[in-house]
Structure 1
Amino acid sequence: MCRVIVFAGTTEGRKLSAFLEERQIPAMICVATEYGESVLEEYAQLEVHRGRMDQEDMRKLFEEKRPEVVIDATHPYAVEVTKNIRTACEKGGRTYIRVVRKSEEYKKYGKNIYVDSAAEAARYLSGTAGNIFLTTGSKELGAFTEIPDYEERVYARVLPAPEIISVCAKLGIRGKHVICMQGPFSEALNEAMFAQCHAAYVVTKESGTAGGFREKEQAAEQLGIPLVIIGRPKKEEGLSLEQCKEMLEKQFQKETDGRTKEMRNQSEKGRRRRVSLVGIGMGSAETMTGEASRICREADLLIGAKRMTEAVRQEGQQIFCAYRAEEILEYIKEHPQYENVAVVLSGDVGFFSGAKDFLGHVKEQEENLEVRVIPGISSLVYFCAKLHVPWEKVKAISAHGREEGLVSGVREHPMVFALAGGKNQIAELCKRLTAYGFGDCEIAVGERLSYPEERIFQGNVREFCELETDSLAVFLIWNRRAERREVVCGIPDEQFCRGKVPMTKEEVRSISISKLRLWKDAVIYDVGAGTGSVAVEMALQAPDGVVYAVEKNEEAVALLGENRVAFAVDHLKIVHGKAPEALENLPAPTHVFLGGSSGNLKEILDIVRKKNKAVRVVINAITLETVTEALTYLKEQEISGAEVVSVQTARAREVGRYHMMTGQNPVYVISFGGERQEG
């Protein structure tokens, strides 16, 4: 049984096909070409008829299928086809619905030339010189063969179908003069193609929003090229796409056993609404994948940051500007009329993207949504391709809101890529890198990637300390002297700046840090940090984390700063103050090293365990009083699984021709806690 027949081959036809498939309304979709059939392959429940039909063929089809409604969603210029469909419906007593496009007035561009037909356009162009870029489709090509030297002057942009390429060849339009592509075409792509062909004139039909007229006109205006416009054959009457959907929904509500009503009410047992998280690349339509373009084009609603929605929006398409997952989900929930939603995201969905947050919230809320994730081209991949650099060994980080990771990344990796935000951020990052000794590293900066105004420039880091960039910028840094750092701790004592401040010795430091069992992304307190020898080693062990070195002594604070720069650990934060007061405003720690408590051991342990009950703690105690205080605390708090290790080391020193061992003070290493929390 076939309730609806749709004559498609247009954007409106594809959207109606998706609508009928989702509503499970039995329908047949008629297209003229193999290409038209291929774009409907995903609609498994619809019957597809391929091939051109005359009026009699249509009448026989209607008699066989007996549809209740015949919808004409063919191109505005398919005058003969529309006439045949209407007449066949009248003869067979079928309900005929014409879907019409919104036709807009375009009066801004002063070089528009209006003609009534393709033949008139050809006559006008016969009296001109220069290349002609045709965007009128294959059916009208024959008219332009009347132009003198058309084989050399005419460039035709047509659909990538074998039968269409054959038509072009028979007319004498071959080779580079045939451009086979499927739209939509952005203004930037149109502009690039017009310029590549050295077009002196562009010919188009007044095809409305869905036909991409606006983008063609704007591209022609940018290049100062006259636009020859073939006006609509006549003013059509009919329903808009949305009106047609409403009509179908009302007419078939009962016949589909209440499915439509159920869908509209978003019953928990009803059809799941579709939400696509779409990576759209850097921003220009040319760097979007074909799948991403199609999904955005067919969406009922686009959601995303303003730059992203503007990059993909078609005229008349509904948008909601937002980037927070909670806000997006709330809007989708409150607007059930949108059943096919595209959330557009910059770059790729797996590269510092909001997709992760969104997916987490969907799972938590168990929304009645079918969520798809559509990958895109990330700025990392695009930028490295521009620089002819394989990206497989590039360390990628984000400088958005966290600049500290950059220095660690550059210290340890030969190539580091980062996303920047704000026109002065790259300059500030270059100043930071220069201060930490990386001013001679090479850097490449890219801004407005994929857009016509794209810029890429290279130099040394110190040369870009005053650089001002566009807010859409990325950079790649080469450190030819990146460290091959040892994976164990135990930096020799003499490598630290120490002055007269006491320092935890190398052997004790190694054991203590080993007992901490650090994570790469740990949040660490070093209380009583002294010169920072332990803090520096912990920062090197946790390159993706942060170390807060708390110290009350001014001389020690100065030495901490020197050692932070010497070892290039900018994620080591110096807190000048006395614990426990200095810990109040710090984030919850995952690990705490207590090298000195100034008699406040209990208070310090209370506050860190209040912030994180599962914190991993290592205490270095030299005096027996401190050992007693620590053990008493463990007993009072009923902390089990604690370890107490007594460490006493001795180092050889030369006395004449002999080596004598010099003993160090014994140190008690007390450790406990450290259950890693989920999430």
Structure 2
Amino acid sequence: MTAAWLTLIGMGEDRVLSPAARDTLAQAKVVYGGARHFELCGAEITGEARQWPSPFASVYSDLAALKGTPTAILATGDPQWYGIGSALAAHVSPEEMLVLPSPSAFQLASARMHWPLQDVTCLSLHGRALETLNGYLQPGRKILALTSNGETPGKVARRLTDAGFGPSRMTLMEHMGGAQERLCSATAAEWREACADFNTLAIELLPGPDAKAFARVPGLPDSAFRHDGKMTKREVRSVTMSALQPMPGQLLWDVGAGCGSIGIEWLRAAEQTSAIGLEPHTERRAMAAENALALGTPALKLVDATAPDGLTNLPDPDAIFIGGGLTTPTLVATCLSRLKPGGRLVANAVTLEGEAVLLSAHQTHGGDLIRLTIQRADKVGGLTGWRPFMPVTQWSLTKPHGDIA
């Protein structure tokens, strides 16, 4: 087994290092970190202190050149929780790296708030789109969020207020565990606090009268999306998502993404998912991008391409939804060839031509073929009647472990 030559040390504002961390720093020939980390460590560092390079990615080639040399990396709190640990793990084998964590910001913040950590949503807004918050705006939810700098809490307050959650209680926690620790609270609507750059934010979501709250289970109302009328309607979308079976960490291809409703529902339904939407129409891609931000899924990737040609350079998916382009069997065959074993393919059609393609696919490959008919109550003059939507034919298949001819 290869001996660990690289040690990742998580630090707190209290400047307290474990005996193992002290021994590591005493033996390390090279120590990487930020200016704040070096200030906190003081005389504990005896080797060469190197601040993070710019661009940051160059550190990986530097570390490769140091392989076998006792090296330490200083980080904040628990490096494995929204920290550098996961990035390092992609470049350094587990046998070569030792991780010595300190209490994370989430642990410290939950202790300050007296919130059971298992009941709290932990997010990072550090270097990430603030719109991520939009996916978690439900009454009563408690959120702990890492921030980018002192401007983030004010931006969060404005976003919550604009979304109708102005009564939400926000608590700012600066420099937790250190001599400069400070806590302050106010509602989002009343937030006026000046903030230090190193802070963590606690949010208890409380709705105002105009708040719009959406659950994360599939089936968002059609009105939640900006669209041009061509979209997978709510009831059909719910059935479609049930067949797609979103699972943590999996990738969806949304072929013919339209306003992005399927990809957005996929990203909201399970943690750490990803989605790529192919949409050749500029206006619909713009709508999909806008919807993704509004509904808290900024990770939706939109590609200006049509299938099957636009699929060539994409990573193989765990699930595929075909909502457009069902004019020939070629698209189905291409998608099936790229779908991972155990993956799900779902295709919807409203035209006879598209239905014929799905019937042929069902006869060739099996799977499930269903027809969905939806009627909604609507005004008929001064009365109420049923207004039908176009029937939708849906074919779904789970790819077996083995090639599909």
Tell me the TM-score normalized by structure 1. 0.46
Aligned counterpart in structure 1 of residue 266 of structure 2, from 519, 528, 538: 538
Shift of 1:623: 2.6
Please give the alpha-carbon distance, in whole angstroms, between the structure 1 residues aligned to 2:115 and 2:249.
29
Shift of 1:317: 0.6
Could you say which residue in structure 1 is the equivalent of 2:75? 345
Shift of 1:447: 3.3
Could you say which residue in structure 2 is the equivalent of 1:626? 354
The AA in structure 2 aligned to 1:667 is: V
1:277–1:560 CA distance, 2 compared to 1 (3 A):
closer
Deviations 1:564-586 (A, max 9, x none): 687x3344748596634887898
The AA in structure 1 aligned to 2:321 is: F
1:426–1:632 CA distance, 2 compared to 1 (3 A):
farther
Could you say which residue in structure 1 is the equivalent of 2:148? 421
Aligned counterpart in structure 1 of residue 84 of structure 2, from 354, 361, 369: 354
Aligned counterpart in structure 2 of residue 406 of structure 1, from 119, 133, 137: 133
Q: The residue matched to 2:119 in structure 1 has which SS?
A: coil
Please give the alpha-carbon distance, in whole angstroms, between the structure 1 residues aligned to 2:400 and 2:133.
29
Contact 2:169/2:203 (CA < 8 Å) preserved in 1? yes
Could you say which residue in structure 1 is the equivalent of 2:370? 646
Deviations 1:373-428 (A, max 9, x none): 33312222223334454434221122233325332234387211122224544444
Please give the alpha-carbon distance, in whole angstroms, between the structure 1 residues aligned to 2:329 and 2:23.
60
The AA in structure 1 aligned to 2:99 is: V
Contact 1:560/1:574 (CA < 8 Å) preserved in 2? no
Please give the alpha-carbon distance, in whole angstroms, between the structure 2 residues aligned to 1:498 and 1:300.
56
Could you say which residue in structure 2 is the equivalent of 1:333? 67
The AA in structure 2 aligned to 1:617 is: L
Contact 2:25/2:44 (CA < 8 Å) preserved in 1? no
Please give the alpha-carbon distance, in whole angstroms, between the structure 2 residues aligned to 1:437 and 1:600.
47
Q: How does 1:500-579 map to 2 (within 5 A)?
A: 501-530=229-258, 534-542=262-270, 544-547=272-275, 568-571=295-298, 573=300, 575=302, 579=306
Could you say which residue in structure 2 is the equivalent of 1:479? 205
1:393–1:508 CA distance, 2 compared to 1 (3 A):
closer
Q: The residue matched to 2:247 in structure 1 has which SS?
A: coil
Aligned counterpart in structure 2 of residue 447 of structure 1, from 164, 174, 189: 174
Please give the alpha-carbon distance, in whole angstroms, between the structure 2 residues aligned to 1:524 and 1:589.
6
The AA in structure 1 aligned to 2:395 is: I
Q: How does 1:44-63 map to 2 (within 5 A)?
A: none
CA RMSD of aligned residues (A): 4.8
Tell me whether 1:280 sits opposite 2:4 in the alignment: no
The AA in structure 2 aligned to 1:438 is: F
Please give the alpha-carbon distance, in whole angstroms, between the structure 2 residues aligned to 1:564 and 1:315.
47
Please give the alpha-carbon distance, in whole angstroms, between the structure 2 residues aligned to 1:274 and 1:478.
43
**Equivalenced residues, count:** 387
Please give the alpha-carbon distance, in whole angstroms, between the structure 1 residues aligned to 2:48 and 2:140.
41
Tell me the TM-score normalized by structure 2. 0.71
Aligned counterpart in structure 1 of residue 320 of structure 2, from 564, 586, 592: 592
Please give the alpha-carbon distance, in whole angstroms, between the structure 2 residues aligned to 1:381 and 1:542.
24
Q: The residue matched to 1:314 in structure 2 has which SS?
A: helix
Please give the alpha-carbon distance, in whole angstroms, between the structure 2 residues aligned to 1:470 and 1:601.
59
1:650–1:342 CA distance, 2 compared to 1 (3 A):
closer
Q: The residue matched to 1:418 in structure 2 has which SS?
A: strand
Shift of 1:645: 0.8
Q: How does 1:448-463 map to 2 (within 5 A)?
A: 448-462=175-189
1:599–1:334 CA distance, 2 compared to 1 (3 A):
same
Please give the alpha-carbon distance, in whole angstroms, between the structure 2 residues aligned to 1:363 and 1:576.
34
Shift of 1:592: 2.9
Deviations 1:96-150 (A, max 9, x none): xxxxxxxxxxxxxxxxxxxxxxxxxxxxxxxxxxxxxxxxxxxxxxxxxxxxxxx
The AA in structure 1 aligned to 2:64 is: E
Please give the alpha-carbon distance, in whole angstroms, between the structure 1 residues aligned to 2:189 and 2:114.
23
Contact 2:31/2:45 (CA < 8 Å) preserved in 1? no
1:343–1:668 CA distance, 2 compared to 1 (3 A):
same
Contact 2:322/2:346 (CA < 8 Å) preserved in 1? yes
Tell me whether 1:377 sits opposite 2:377 in the alignment: no
The AA in structure 1 aligned to 2:46 is: Q
Contact 2:347/2:396 (CA < 8 Å) preserved in 1? yes
Deviations 1:630-650 (A, max 9, x none): 566799xxxx85524121436
Shift of 1:671: 2.6
Percent identical pairs in the alignment equals 24
1:541–1:605 CA distance, 2 compared to 1 (3 A):
farther
Shift of 1:539: 4.0
Please say which structure displays the higher CA radius of gyration. 1
The AA in structure 2 aligned to 1:646 is: I
Shift of 1:620: 0.3
Q: How does 1:174-323 map to 2 (within 5 A)?
A: 272=3, 275-282=6-13, 284-285=14-15, 288-291=16-19, 294-296=22-24, 298-301=26-29, 303-307=31-35, 308-314=37-43, 317-321=46-50
The AA in structure 2 aligned to 1:355 is: G
Contact 1:642/1:673 (CA < 8 Å) preserved in 2? no
Aligned counterpart in structure 1 of residue 393 of structure 2, from 668, 672, 676: 668
Contact 2:138/2:215 (CA < 8 Å) preserved in 1? no
1:400–1:652 CA distance, 2 compared to 1 (3 A):
closer
Please give the alpha-carbon distance, in whole angstroms, between the structure 1 residues aligned to 2:153 and 2:160.
10
Q: The residue matched to 1:512 in structure 2 has which SS?
A: helix
Please give the alpha-carbon distance, in whole angstroms, between the structure 1 residues aligned to 2:60 and 2:140.
36
Contact 1:410/1:477 (CA < 8 Å) preserved in 2? no
1:301–1:597 CA distance, 2 compared to 1 (3 A):
same
The AA in structure 2 aligned to 1:312 is: C
Could you say which residue in structure 2 is the equivalent of 1:363? 93
Shift of 1:548: 5.2
Q: Which runs of 5+ in 1 are unaligned?
A: 1-267
Please give the alpha-carbon distance, in whole angstroms, between the structure 1 residues aligned to 2:239 and 2:51.
50
Please give the alpha-carbon distance, in whole angstroms, between the structure 2 residues aligned to 1:425 and 1:600.
50
Shift of 1:433: 4.1
Please give the alpha-carbon distance, in whole angstroms, between the structure 2 residues aligned to 1:608 and 1:462.
50
Please give the alpha-carbon distance, in whole angstroms, between the structure 1 residues aligned to 2:190 and 2:399.
45
Contact 1:535/1:572 (CA < 8 Å) preserved in 2? no
Q: The residue matched to 2:126 in structure 1 has which SS?
A: coil
1:522–1:510 CA distance, 2 compared to 1 (3 A):
same
- Using CA pairs under 8 Å that are at least 6 residues apart, name the structure with larger relative contact order, 1 or 2: 2
Contact 1:521/1:545 (CA < 8 Å) preserved in 2? yes
Contact 2:109/2:144 (CA < 8 Å) preserved in 1? no
Please give the alpha-carbon distance, in whole angstroms, between the structure 1 residues aligned to 2:376 and 2:163.
35
The AA in structure 1 aligned to 2:76 is: S
Q: Which runs of 5+ in 2 are unaligned?
A: none
